Each structure stands twice: as C-alpha cells, then as structure tokens.
Structure 1
Amino acid sequence: MSLAPGPADAPGTSRSTSATIQPNILRYLIVVADERGIDLRPLLEQVGLDETVMRSAALRVSYRQGSALIRRALELTGDQRLGLKVGAAQHLTAWGMLGFALSAADTLQHAIETGVKYQNLSGAMVVWSAGVSVRDDAFVLRAELPDPAIDPNLAGFLIEEAFASVVTLSRLAIRPAFAPRTVEFSFPPPRQIDVYGALFGCPVRFGAPANRLVIDSEWARARMPGRDPVTYASTLELLDAQAASRRDQQDLLEVLEVSVAQSLPVVPSFGEQARRHTTSERTLRRRLADCGTTYEALVEGVRRERVEQLLLRPELTLRDIAHRSGFSDERALRRAVRRWHGTSPVHLREQMLRRTRHAP
C-alpha cells in the first residue's frame, strides 16, 4: 500500500504532486522548530501552504510539499536527528478519528495493525507493513520509503520520525515503560548513536537489510487501557467511509494532473476540464475544495514537477525548460523557481544534479 508511487504511474506526472496526505508530521515539525527558535512559517508559502491553511482539519498536502518543507527544515536547523524529535513530540489526538480507533483497539498489536491498514488516513510518509515472526512470535513493524531514490537526509528523517512516533504513542497508550526488543535501520550508523538508545530504550542496529521495529509478544499482546469493541467497530465504519472518499479524491486529482501534464506547454482551462468531466465548473471547484486544493494549485504542482524533471537534463537550456513547462519566458521560470525553492534555476539544477550523483 503506497502513499506516493513513483513517476512511472503516468506519463509526465507522478502521484507525489497529489494533495492526499494529512500534514501531521509538518504540524509537529513546525512545533519542534519553534522550540528551537526557528520559524518555518515563511517556508510554507514556498511550498504552496500558509499557517491559516495548516490549521484546517480538511487540509491535505502532497508528498512533494511535505518533502520540500522537511528538507528546508533540516538545512535550517542543521539537526540530522530532527526526525527523532518530531516523532517523539506526537500525540494520538493528532491522528483524529484514526487515533480514537487505535485507543479503542483490543491490544497494542491490534492497534498497530489498524494503523497499518488505514495508513493513508494517518499522514504517514512511509509505507508501513506488519506481521508476526514465525520464528519467535515477535511482532515486526516495517517501514519502507515510497521512493528509494530520495536523498539520504530526507530518508533518514522519514524513517526515524516513523519509528520514534510509534514508540512514543505506544508509551502514551500502554505504559511509559514500553520498549521494543530491537530497532533496525538500513542506513549507516550516524555520529550521534547514543540518542537512539536513549529514545528507544533497546538495542539499535544500523546497516540492517530493512527498517524494522521488533516488539516482544508480551508487549504486543498488552491490552489497550481504552479498549472498547463497540466504539472500535463504529469508528472503523467512519474510517472506511473516509478511505472510500479519499480514493475518489485521489482519483480526481490524478486524472486532472495527467490531463495537465499531457497538455503542457498548453494548460487546459478550468472550463475545459469541467467539460471533460461532464460536470459544471461550480461542481468541479467544490470537489477540488473537498480535496483541500484548487485547480490553480494543481497546475502549479504539475508545472513544478515538470521543471524539476527537465532541470535534470543538462542539455536543455532554461529557455527550453520554460517553453516545455508552459512559462511565457525565462523570467517567468526564474520567478516560479524562486517562489518554490528560494533560489535560481541554475543553482537548483546544480543541487539536484549533485544530489543525483551522490545517491546510493
């Protein structure tokens, strides 16, 4: 179950531009940065968000928006263990209805399996899976990256935040003494290893074949203090309805994104899109509002992705890129890249090519 499949999903676009992820991680990222005296709010506009919108319960962000904000936060703070801190700052209440369902589950394992099942509603930016080990009956939770080609700093943040949040929320839900048997990371050991043991309270292994959090069966079978089968069942009905609605929303966004991407450098008008969907402009605008976005923001996301794809091709000039992305000229392209990334297209190209060369 992938939150953000890669660019092969459709010609010229990828689902990473679809605004379908709850911004729980970003909200806590802002809180943690605030505690360190770093204001990330100016960066929100660069990724098409703002503080008022971030307070909306209906807000959904794209994987691309979330990744961009996290990368900039890592650069500004200089803290390579920022993911651990963001994960450790979280509460079940941030997960809304899903958090309520987890609290009403029967056991910790049951709660985690529920979270995995409804991960697309949780704001997760990794792909979760879970199962019981046939060898020793331990409960194993795995986290994979939706795109294995992302840069190591972002990858480390996402995996560390994921495991830190699971351990933190388990302690809040069960007992403060909770600790996994082991935590395994696929990336090499960092300089600061002691912070991992202090947070997880168990042996931590680096350079492992996969990112895994192993929980002893005694902890996995621990009863949830707020367990209630009736409340749990009724909450799942609401979550199923949300999941069905989310699928419809994601389908709409992806169809529109593909339509825009295939039409570039010409951008179809909103009226034309409504006609293609045999609906009125008012209805289509309302459906996009239900998705937490607008047609203008969707077009912006597709053009941004196209620019970033083309910048990775050194043989293309800025004039070529501007034309193929639907900009009137190079100046319009420069203004857009400055708005998105806070830098020039030339500098961004250098950064992206350098990052590609250093990718594992």
Structure 2
Amino acid sequence: MSPEPRRPPLAAPQQAATPMAFVKAILQAYERRGLAPDQALRTAQITPEDTLDEDKKVTALQFELLSGAAMQELDDEALGWFGRRLPWGSYGMLARASISAPSLGVALKRWCRHHGLIADDITLSLNVQGRHSSITITEHRDLGELREFCLVSVLRNIHGLACWLIDSRLPLQQAAFPLPAPAHAEVYPLLFPGPVVFGAAQAGIHFDARYLEMPLRRDETALKQMLQRALPLTVLQYRRDRLLVQRVRQLLARQPQDTQSAEALAHWLHISPRTLHRQLKDEGATLQALKDEVRRERATELLLRTGRPIKQVAEAAGFRNEKSFMRAFRDWTGQSPAEFRRQAGAG
C-alpha cells in the first residue's frame, strides 16, 4: 500500500515489538540499490547503533515511518523482495481493482490475480474447501535473504486489507511459514493472531470460508482515505467480528460438552474470555443468550424427532445434569420436557 509520508513526534509511549531483523531487511533493500538509508532511519528515529543490536525492537510507528520513507526513496513498495520494483502506488492500484467487488471472496480473487501481473516471483492463490479457506504463496524463485520479510509482509498486507474491506476482524485458524522458527518467533502471534506453524510446505493464512461471502463495507472515498496511511492496516484495530455470533453458535452446537464455560469457548476461538464477551456485546449478543438459543433448538429437535430418555437429551444439549435441563426447559417453554414431548406427539 502507499502511505503518505509523515513525520509525527514519537513521544507517545508504544510497545517496541517489531524485530530488528525486519528493519535490517529494509536496509538490505537500500544496499542492493546502492543507496544510503540515513534519512529514512532519521525519520523513524532509529540510530545506526540500534540496527547493530540483534535483540533490539522498534515500535509499530517507527517501522511504519521507516517503511513509508523507504518505499518512496527506493520507489519500490515491495522493498526489494522481487526481481523488479513495484513503483509507488502499485498496491493502491490493486486495492482500487478490488474495491468494487460484491463480496470479500471476489475481492481477494482479484487481488491474487492482479498481484501476479505486477510480480511474477510469487503466486497468491485463494483456496476454498467446504468451510475452510486459505490464501497461499507459491514461490517461483529463491527470494534470498529477504524471503521471511517478503512472506510475512505479503500475508500481512492481504490479511489487513481483507479486514478493512469488510470492517471486521478476520480470525486466523492458522498462519503457516515454510521456514524454521526464527529467533524472533515470539512476535508472530502478534502479527498473525492465532496458531502459527513453522516448517510448513508453503506460506499461507487459513480462515473460516464464511467470511468470503461477506459484502464489502468500503467505497472509493474510504479507499482514498485509507491509502493515505495504509501501512497500519492490522487486524488488531478491529474490535468487531461480524461472524463471531455465527461462529459461537456453531461451536456451541458442535461441541456442547467442550464449550460449557466462556473460558473453554474462548480457547476454541483463540481469543481471551474478556475479548469474547466484549465482541459479542459489540454484535448485540450475549454468551448466555446464544447458549440458551442453541440448547433450546437442540433439545427441541431431540425431543420431537427421537425417543431418547430425558437424561440423554439433557447431555446432548450441553447440560451438566437432568435437573438443570428441566429447569431451563420450563423457563423456555412453560412445560417440562416430558410434557412438551407428549403434547407434540398428541398434536
């Protein structure tokens, strides 16, 4: 993406989490072009001494400023990853080609196809199998020392864009990389919230395919504003998950005994219990209401369509015991489970 150059003061405290390895990858791009990175480093307030410390980290803002300055000075939004430069505005052009898509799936297909037109070193592919989808990277040449930075950046870029297009978090089921775990592996869960796997066959991100059906919630005006500062496109700024209610409902129905508590359910979703409650509130739902809805539907179905004993129905609906099930069912329907079954059978 093409951010506008900015030089805000760095006085506000920020957590320094970006590894120096990524800073040095940008410096390698300068070295390949025979250019000095001095001005870009000054803009980001990173000293030459800082770059010699392998263990030092920089803040997200520092890295944004360094990347933005480098993209302009090198006139390469790929920062040296590919065999040819991607001139300033290349990724903005891809975003404009995707913004008119009717759904996220179509937008991502366009992005993957058009990316191949401007950089043939890699191929991006959108794959869908049932409810599972992935965006994978096929490498067509040795990316050399910039391989890790390239794979991380390309996947972060498309993931951040996807979240922005639908104005929603897009939780990852897995982020995979065909690399041994680097010394700074601890930063990957911050870059790709969810399980991270190293030593995979190819790089890719995996997520629920239902997000692909969601309509885009951005227009040309929003795109112009976004492109003024595109680098901070991260999933972390999206509190809303527009599919969370559906995902919670599905888990409650599929894993009733393993999702009794908010803690257990949050574990399955790879988020904290506090985040789970907050995001459900953002969607106008509560965990208890969703539990009641799913349990009621399951119990009603079993009572009407099977002859299972009440105790088995209670267990299958996710209740710890028959007594709590009977109390809840009476609250829902005004009848006991046995009365409900008899009346339905009589009808």
The bucket for the TM-score relative to the shorter chain is 0.3 to 0.5
**TM-score w.r.t. structure 2 length?**
0.39
Larger helix proportion, structure 1 or 2? 1
* Bigger RCO of structures 1 and 2 (CA < 8 A, at least 6 apart): 1
